[in-house]
Chains A and B, each alone.
Chain A
Amino acid sequence: MNKAFLSRFTPSLMSPEMLEAIFVQREKLAQRTVDQIRDSVLTQTKHYSLLVGPRGIGKTHFVSLIYYRIKKLEELQSRLVISWLHEDGYAIGSFLDLLLQIFQGIFEENKDKALQEKVKAIYSLSPQEAEAVALRLLKEYLDKCTLLLLIENLDEVFKGLSEEGQQKLRSALQENSFCTILATSPALFNGVASQTLPFYGFFRIQHLEGLSLEEATNLLLKIAEAQGNEDLSKFLATGLGEDRVRVVHELAGGSHRVFVVFSQFLTEKTLDELVNAVMEILDDLTPYYQARMSYVSPQQRKIIDFLASRGRPVPVKEIAQYCFITNQTTSSQLKDLQEKGYVSSESLGRESWYELREPLMRHCLEVKKNRGESVRLLVSFLRGWYTRDELEGKIKGLPENSFSDREYLQKMAYGWDIFPQNPSASLGMIAKKILKIFEDLASKEALLEMVYWQSVWTELGEKHDEFQIPLRLMNAAVQFLKGNRNKRALMELPIEERRIVREWFKEKPK
């Protein structure tokens, strides 16, 4: 296997070197986790950890990394048995199934033929007897060793175990203290979150956070370094490089997977140009997002599709109406989707409004409908918007009462007027400059001037694609102020655009 191989969807296939090379953000957690496992192997203490975070947030990467770090610790090896229950391909319907999977995992690890023979013999027994014999065999096999159980998708495993299996598992753990667990799950689930079920308060639950912009840039940088892409790593280290990453960060949130996928389309040039690279991510991620849809119920799918098509937050009532589901069911389905990281919500008065959490997912689901044109526009707009330049300084330098400085603005309008004769300035650039001036007015809440310039620019720019988003933002901002900071006006915008307007007014989401 190529050591620098970067798997986008199955980090467990990556070499330990590569896992380490591109590891960001969670070093402290990794060290603590290793310490806890070491403690569990060398003493009678047993730790049980559960990492919770939506798909693509780096759970498997983390577990794989820990696995290799543990394997490297000489002092542990004679007292440690590992069993790793991977993400897919296991069907656990009872405590017995779990035990058999554990044996399977042990066998994959150490190829112990004698053990395999003994496990084989279990299959000739009745299920009840088999369960008792399997548990006893496990105890005997471990003897004084500790089992490190790595379990992905613990929620699924618990569902399969049902309450009875969970009780048997907890009994076994309490009675024997022979096992330490590192588990993951895309969301909290009833088995550990319900106060009356056995595992309540049992796991040390760690919620995994998405990447911040800085961490995302750092991740791309590390990948570029690991793959020997020097030009790219130099570019990433510049402010401009980070500006480009910011656009993807706005669209993808902090999903590790998206950035790993993204990294594969990157050179200095494609990152700078950006639009095509993002189109490539969309293309690459579409099957992945579609696969994610198979983790949700048909009803939830319908809700997701509806939200994707709306492209902005929608109140529960309206979702219920358009999906033909009762308000109550819609509410509970949305809560579930929120826990799983698909949607996010904002409350407006007493109502909750929902939308897809990752804009990128929305665009993936919608991309076919308009052949990606709107995404291209969005990306080039954001690219321009998030590029730092001197313009900002200039505008900030305008006097408080900028109405008097209309001259500058008029020049801008003039610049637009003579555009056909002045092809050196692209429409996108002009739109950005205008919006920057508008931002300045907005942050001063200069409503009159805003209204004036909105009308000027609507007239001049309406017909041009490059002006669609800026005009939408202007409109929302004007409505917001007209309505006495009416948040509802902002709800007309999708999440990534809302964030921009919100910054103008220093509005925080609720």
Chain B
Amino acid sequence: MKTNLGGTGTLNAVVLQAMKTNPGGSLSPSEVVGRDALIKQLWRALEKQSVVLSAERRMGKTSIIKKMHAESAGKLTVYQDLEKVGTPREFVESIVESVEERLSTGKRVAEGFRSLLQNLHGAEVSGIKLPEVADREWKVLLVAIIKDLVAKPGGTVYFFWDELPLMLYKIQKNSGETVAMEILDTLRSLRQTYPLLRMVYTGSIGLHNVLTSLKRAGYANAPINDMKKIDVPALQLIDAENLALQLIMGENIQVADPQIIAKTIAQSVDGIAFYVQHVVDRLANWQGTIEAKTIKDIVSNYLCDAQDPLDMRYFQERIKTYYLREEVSLAYGLLDILSTETVAISFGNLANKLASRMAIHDLEAIRSMVELLQLDHYIQQNPEGNYAFRFPLIQRYWKLNRGLSH
């Protein structure tokens, strides 16, 4: 079913396509709503340089890069989910496999790579898995396969690497910090060497989480300073509203005024697509009439539901997982304070309030924590320089679950 909304003949008339809710699943490219402008921006950035794409979990990173990959007619793109990778050898292996799969012209693509491998191994290598020698020689092999690839006619090669930080995290755990750093360095030097090579790093944990721990281990390089950092924001309210509307249509939900319901949904979840999906999914199972108030109740209930359907606990847990132990109370303290503020507050004000709850020795520590919380999308700085939670919904959640609301 296609409906033409806003049929006043204006240029912004949107074609709405009915679709089923799918919270958490894989979307087909046409179901990724409201990301066209961002995707355009990404392609434009990629004309010049590689990109680090970052966002909160479940914000839609994967959907975006998969859509770019699927709709990249005429471009040579490779999409890989790297969380399965735990060693450099496996990294090379998975690149070889994806590349050969993507370019399956019957003939092996990676000729240079194959002959190098044979030399190193001392015999022909037939299987998918690489021989042990690749554990030691992964660097030259990685360079070789990329070199083969960019030598193909057809212009720029794009790698979409999902969950790259998770891979680095695992490699760091399995093989130590040095190896993880070497991977980052090698990739950077490949980008420097081959002007037709582009990479997109993204993943469910922030790259900076891994970089911070590498720095602590003495890593001084800046392995992504040549890349453009792009944040995935929540959807524009109008897009979130359209998404809600399309889902309401797709699920055949009976409401008096779909527009108003859709708008309420979009607003009450701050335009976050994943939550829009959840709320409409809930409506699809709803018994009884649905009004704007129903939506508000659903969202409020979500926030205190022990089953945590919106996966909000993540915002607390990840601090415990990825931050240093001594940082946790500082991070919690700052967020506790901000969660009860109704307007954005200045750094000085924030530090003052913090000082009234814990001993502060070092203003710089607070400053860098504020920065980290920004990188992790908990908080943001407005044009006046004041700080507030990035999403009111998450602020509400924080306040509730830390027992700070009266």
Contacts and interface: CB of A to CB of B under 8 A. Distances in A.
B84 A171 contact: yes
Contact of A207 (B28, B127, B129, B307): B307
Contacts, number: 104
User: Residue among A48, A177, A201, A204 with the most chain B CB within 10 A?
Assistant: A201
A36 interface: yes
A238 interface: no
Contact of A45 (B26, B80, B128): B26
A173 B162 CA distance: 13
Nearest to B82: A171
Given A167-B84, A174-B162, A47 B25 contact: yes
Contacts of B70: 44
B155 interface: no
Interface stretch (B256-264, B312-320, B390-398): B312-320
B201 interface: no
A36 B20 contact: yes
Nearest to B309: A205
B128 A133 contact: yes
A136 interface: yes
A207 to B, nearest CB: 7
Contacts of A173: 26
Interface stretch (A192-200, A282-290, A480-488): A192-200
A188 B311 CA distance: 13
Contacts of A32: 284-285
B57 A198 contact: no
Nearest to B308: A193
B314 A195 contact: yes
Contacts of A128: 129
B113 interface: no
Nearest to B313: A195
B317 A196 contact: yes
B280 to A, nearest CB: 12
B311 A175 contact: no
B83 A177 contact: no
A175 B281 contact: no
Nearest to B27: A45
A483 B86 CA distance: 63
B22 A129 contact: no
B57 A200 contact: yes
Contacts of B285: 28-29, 32
A215 interface: no
Interface residues of A, number: 41
Contact of A188 (B23, B25, B307, B314): B307
B28 A44 contact: yes
A44 B29 contact: yes
Contacts of B80: 175
A291 interface: no
A198 B22 CA distance: 18
Contacts of B314: 195-196, 200-201
A174 B20 contact: no
A68 interface: no
B22 A47 contact: yes
Given A171-B82, A188-B307, A195-B311, A202 B24 contact: yes
A448 interface: no
Given A168-B84, A198-B83, A200-B314, A174 B62 contact: yes
Nearest to A52: B307
A159 B26 CA distance: 24
Interface string A345-382: 00000000000000000000000000000000000000
B24 A45 contact: no
A323 interface: no
Interface in A173-220: 173-175, 177, 188, 194-196, 198, 200-205, 207
B58 A201 contact: yes
Nearest to B251: A32
A43 B84 contact: no
A172 B84 contact: yes
A35 B20 contact: yes
A396 interface: no
A205 B308 CA distance: 11
Given A45-B28, A48-B24, A48-B25, A201 B82 contact: no
Interface string B292-320: 00000000000000010101011001100
A195 B31 contact: no
B81 A204 contact: no
A159 B79 CA distance: 28
A349 B154 CA distance: 71
Contacts of B105: none
B25 A46 contact: yes
Contacts of A45: 19-20, 22, 25-28, 31
A166 B385 CA distance: 42
A272 interface: no
Contacts of B81: 170-171, 174-175
Closest 3 A/B residue pairs (Cβ): A44-B28, A195-B314, A171-B84
Interface of A: 28-29, 32, 35-36, 39, 43-48, 125-126, 128-129, 132-133, 136, 164, 167-168, 170-175, 177, 188, 194-196, 198, 200-205, 207
Given A36-B22, A173-B26, A196-B318, 16 more contacts: A32-B285, A43-B28, A44-B27, A45-B19, A45-B28, A45-B31, A126-B129, A132-B128, A136-B128, A170-B84, A174-B66, A175-B80, A201-B57, A201-B58, A201-B274, A207-B307
20 contacts: A32-B285, A44-B27, A44-B28, A44-B29, A45-B27, A46-B26, A128-B129, A129-B129, A132-B97, A167-B166, A171-B83, A174-B66, A195-B321, A198-B83, A200-B311, A201-B58, A202-B25, A203-B24, A204-B281, A205-B309
